Structure 1
Amino acid sequence: MSDITLSSGVRQNLLTLQSTADMMSRTQNRLSTGNKVNSALDNPNSFFTATGLNARGSDLTNLLDDMGQAIQTIKAADEGITAITKLVESAKAKANQALQTQSQFERKALATQYNELLGQIQDLAQDASYKGKNLLAGDGNDLTVLFNEDSTSKLKIGAVDFTDSTLAAGLNLSPLEEGAAAGTSFGLAGGTATVTLTGLQSTSLLTGAAAYAVGDVITVDDGTSTDTLTIAADTTVQDYVNFLKDQPGIDASFNNDTGALTIRSNYDVDVDKDTTGGGTAVATAVTAAALTATSTLVSSAGFKAGDVISIKDGNGYEARKLAIDENTTVQNFVDLINSTKGLTAQFAGGTMIVEGDVDFTISTNNADFNRTEVADTSGTVAIDADDSGFATDDAINNTVSAINAALSTLREQASTFGSNLSTVEIRQDFTKKLINTLTEGASKLTLADTNEEGANLLALQTRQQLSTTSLSFASQADQAVLRLF
């Protein structure tokens, strides 16, 4: 409107009103946004500085989330170690229990339980993962935690492998041998024959019997091996009895009243006397028949009343024993074996079949037990099973030493993870505070003081009202000039 001329007073008031309106608009914008710097046009230096601070704060906020997840991963591993430690301590308790008993059967059971605990340890280690990261699963599970936006500050947490308990770099605990059963068998048989030495006593010379002469040879023959006694001038009936009793699996007794020499044997045997010294040939055959379940044990030469059957394992631990009397039967013997933990027995056809989970020996204080020929050197029945890893004290002590080393490894690793967790938590707290500092700094550069801006707006409104009044006065002055006309 260049063709309209305003007085200087009106124009001055108009300019003042326009300036006031601009300032009011800017103030209202600051109050509505809360920022005194909303774009680079408002204050380039403050705007770009605040943008940089906020950007760094945002980057650190993202890292803060990662730190939180890292803490959870470490906690999962630490909880896993705590649980594994309890399982290893339970395994140690099994080993200590094994030391407190000499029973190989009980030790074998404890070895099996020990192996089950090792399996649980490995399973637990495999389950100690968080979001696919498992610090107890070894290779490929190392954890790197970043602490700043350019990745120059970080912490690398190395994973250990407890998922395989045998690893030397881990727990170094190997499963124990659980042993394997073995079996054996032995026969129970007996037979009796009698030789009559009329008119003799046990102290009488054997040559007092008409058929016996000095130089005659008595032979004990089982068809495989033999033993002999040459009759001398001073050989007594008792010497003959003792010779027979000395034969494995053969017993003999002499009745002074009847002159009957009774021979009992576990096996078929011939007791013959030749005529080398001029006597008469004497042939005596003992035929052994298989015992039945109802047969008394004393019907065999391997047992007599007062004997004690003893069942011991490979450590010498006496699991069971049975005192034999005149009425003790084969079935009682079977029951004794079956009542022994780790042993089973079946008897049929004169043969006792025995199976043992661990080493066992069955013996008596009678040297004729289980002797089946003249050349026998032992009457003990032995079961040679494969030993468990807890069979001996030395083996158990070695296991305890390995467990103690594993516990030390677990405690050291728990300490390491604890230190790592503390470090990450400290850095997490620091990062939170740093983010707050950055945000606060950016705010100081851009945020408006609402109290100040409110006061400014009130002042501007007053100024606007005054400028409007001033403009009205200027316009009235111009109108007064017109009234002159």
Structure 2
Amino acid sequence: MAITLSAGVRSAVSSLSSVQSQATAIQNRLATGKKVNSAIDSPVNYFTAASLNERSSQLTGLLDGISNGIQTIQAASKGIDGITKLVSSLQSTIKQAQADAAQNRPTKAGTALANASEVALTAKSLKDIALDKKIVDATGGTAATADGATATSSGDLGIAAGAFGNRLAISVKAGSTTYTASFDGANTTVRDVVNEINKSGIATAFVDEKGQLNVKGSGSDDVEFGIGNAAPASAAAADITAANAAAVTAAGTGGSNTAIGFLAADATAVGAIKGQAITSAVRSNLIQQFNDLRTQIDELAKDSGYNGVNLLQGDKVSIQFNEKTGKNQSKLDIQGSTLSADNLGINQATNTTLTGFVNFQNDTDLDNATKSLTGALTSLKSISSSLGANLSVAQTRQDFTKDLSNVLSQGADNLVAADGNQEAANLLALQTRQQLSQTALSLSNQSDQAILRLF
């Protein structure tokens, strides 16, 4: 059965229902924090916000992959830093070997060229007497007869004039390098010979305080020295021919080398006085140190991986920067390189000359090792620079992805989020209207109840 309400009551009930409906909607917005909770509220805003949130979620998911890529690059970069320090230590080891080599050059010392009685006659030191002695027999005799010092002369060593008169020649050989020179021996002194040897660049000579002539190599190779008579290449030439150089070396077996203080027993098979290369215990001990450091380069490179990927062992890492696929996908591919001591050109050390090894007893090998280590550092710097550039790109894209994800989320919120302050004010206003509507309904009911008084 239908109930008939007065117009006033019906209006009050309708108003109260409308207020309650609006209040319920506002309460829902305050509870969810959104003004658009479904497509019914606003289709455009709802679906646009959903799309923005979906992309933001996808980008956020990529951040883990970007982070792993960054850590992989950083692990390789730390490996490069460690290997660089090891190479620097190898350089230090080579420098120690070179320093020891400089103090232990092949040297041959002859017997004394002056004696105490000559010191008494000349009032000069043994060294000065020896330096001032002439080479050729001053009397011009054919026999190798030395003349002692007098009060006015330091004497001579007594090398006899040969078939070429007083023409003298010297030959200095170190390794495969030979230096030869000739000069008029009539007035040539030991000092002249010393100066000529010092011009060679492959050996040095000096007379010590004992009056002994010393020939010292400039490198680690055996040093051979000979002096004797020889013909010049031409009448005006200062140098001698290769053939005559050999003759000088051979002449060293006889009286020539003996006259300047080197004994026949000191001669080698080819007749040259020889300063033997020295096998240094210091450099031998450095070999193990060098090889241990070299091994650690390989070990450190193997340990420079992250999460199973090692850019120093030839692995590849791919970092994806956006949510797209195919040609629209944005990513960074980093191809690693296999890093080892061999690949850096760092050979093992040994005590002998072997192909592919560093002979710590040889100056040339040590110099080559220094160049190789310098080249290795250059290669490491290049790899480090490349990793640094890729790391910068990855970190920049990581920051960009975070910011873009935030922008997308904020944009979605702007479309569907409710203004809490505004909604709270609206709810308070509706509550006031609700109270007023309830009062109006009460008044309308009282008007209807007035009919009862007639009975």
Same fold per superposition (TM over 0.5)? yes
Structure 2 match to 1:390? 360
Structure 1 residues 274-329: Cα deviation after superposition (integer angstroms, max 9, x where no partner): xxxxxxxxxxxxxxxxxxxxxxxxxxxxxxxxxxxxxxxxxxxxxxxxxxxxxxxx
One-letter amino acid matched to 1:452: Q
Aligned residue type for 1:175: Q
Distance in 2 between the 1:129 and 1:178 partners? Answer: 35
Q: Give secondary structure in 1 for the equivalent of 2:348.
A: coil
265, 268, 279: which one aligns with 1:104: 279
Q: In structure 1, the residue corresponding to 2:312 is in which secondary structure?
A: coil
Aligned residue in 2 for 1:472: 442
More helix by share: 2
Give the Cα–Cα distance (whole angstroms) in 1 for the partners of residues 377 and 324 of structure 2.
Answer: 40
Task: Report the equivalent of 1:150.
Answer: 324
Kindly indicate whether residue 346 of structure 2 is the aligned counterpart of residue 173 of structure 1.
yes
Per the alignment, residue 39 of structure 1 pairs with 38
Q: Secondary structure at the match of 1:122?
A: helix
1:255 alignment partner in structure 2: none
Q: 1:388 to 1:402 in 2, by over 3 A?
A: closer
SS at match of 1:4: coil
Provide closer, same or farther for how the CA distance between residues 178 and 57 of structure 1 changes in structure 2, counting only shifts above 3 A. farther
Alpha carbons 1:136, 1:161 under 8 Å: kept: yes
CA-CA distance at 1:81 after TM superposition: 0.5
1:431 matches 2:401: yes
Indicate yes or no: 2:412 matched with 1:412.
no
Number of the residue aligned with 1:95: 94
Q: Whole-Å Cα distance in 2 between the matches of residues 425 and 403 of structure 1?
A: 32
Correspondence for 2:49: 50
Question: Which residue in the other structure is 1:86 paired with?
Answer: 85
Determine if contact 2:313/2:337 at 8 Å carries over to the other structure.
yes
> Structure 1 residues 388 and 146, CA, compared in 2 at 3 Å: closer, same or farther?
closer
CA distance in 2 between counterparts of 1:399 and 1:150 reads 51
1:116/1:444 CA distance change after superposition, 3 Å: same
Partner of residue 243, structure 2: none
Find the partner of 1:401 among 366, 371, 376: 371
The yes-or-no answer on 1:124 pairing with 2:300 is: yes
Question: What residue ranges of structure 2 are gaps of 5+ in the alignment?
Answer: 102-277
Asked whether the equivalents of residues 74 and 417 of structure 1 are also in contact (C-alpha less than 8 Å), the reply is yes
Deviations 1:57-109 (A, max 9, x none): 11111211222222222111111111100101111121222222234333333
Q: What is the correspondence of 1:17-416 to structure 2 with a 5 Å cutoff?
A: 17-102=16-101, 103-105=278-280, 106-138=282-314, 141-151=315-325, 152-162=329-339, 164-167=340-343, 171-179=344-352, 389-416=359-386
Whether the aligned pair in 2 keeps the contact of 1:112 and 1:178 (CA below 8 Å) is no
Q: Tell me the matched-pair count.
A: 273
Give 1:418 deviation, angstroms. Answer: 1.1
Task: Tell which structure's C-alpha radius of gyration is larger.
Answer: 1
1:276 corresponds in structure 2 to: none
Secondary structure at 1:156 match in 2: strand
Q: Give the AA of the match of 2:404.
A: L
For residues 389 and 15 of structure 1, what CA distance do their matches in structure 2 show?
106
| Displacement of 1:117 | 1.0
Shift of 1:135: 1.2
State the one-letter code of the partner of 1:104.
T
How well do the aligned residues superpose, as a CA RMSD in angstroms?
2.1
The one-character-per-residue Cα deviations of 1:224-248 (angstroms, maximum 9, x if unpaired) are: xxxxxxxxxxxxxxxxxxxxxxxxx
Query: CA shift at 1:404, angstroms?
Result: 0.8
Letter in 2 for 1:174: N
Q: Distance in 2 between matches of 1:172 and 1:55?
A: 52
State the TM-score, normalizing by the size of structure 2.
0.57
Q: CA deviation at 1:125?
A: 0.6
Q: Per-residue CA shift, 1:6-27, capped at 9, x if unaligned?
A: 1222212211111111111111
**What is the DSSP-based 3-state SS (H/G/I as helix, E as strand, rest coil) of the residue aligned with 1:143?**
strand
Paired position in structure 2 for 1:258:
none
In 2, Cα distance between equivalents of 1:98 and 1:127: 30
- C-alpha spacing 1:388/1:409, structure 2 compared with 1 (3 Å): closer
Which blocks of at least 5 consecutive residues in structure 1 are unaligned? 181-357, 359-386
* Contact 1:108 1:388 (C-alpha < 8 Å) held by counterparts: no
Q: Deviations over 1:422-460 (max 9, x none)?
A: 111111111111111111111111211111111111111
Q: Tell me if the contact between 1:389 and 1:396 (Cα under 8 Å) persists in the aligned partners.
A: yes
Alpha-carbon distance in 2 for matches of 1:172, 1:464: 89
Amino acid in the other structure paired with 1:165:
A
SS in 1 for 2:78: helix
Deviation at 1:113, TM superposition (A): 2.0
What amino acid sits opposite 1:12 in the alignment?
A: S
- In structure 2, how many angstroms separate the alpha carbons of the residues matched to 1:388 and 1:468? 104
**C-alpha distance in 2 between matches for 1:104 and 1:448:** 88
Distance 1:66 1:411 in 2: 27
Quote the residue 1:444 is aligned against: 414
Distance 1:415 1:107, change over 3 A: same
Alpha-carbon distance in 2 for matches of 1:55, 1:179: 69
Q: Percent sequence identity over matched residues?
A: 46
Task: Give the equivalent residue in structure 2 for 1:268.
Answer: none
**Counterpart amino acid of residue 399 in structure 1:** A
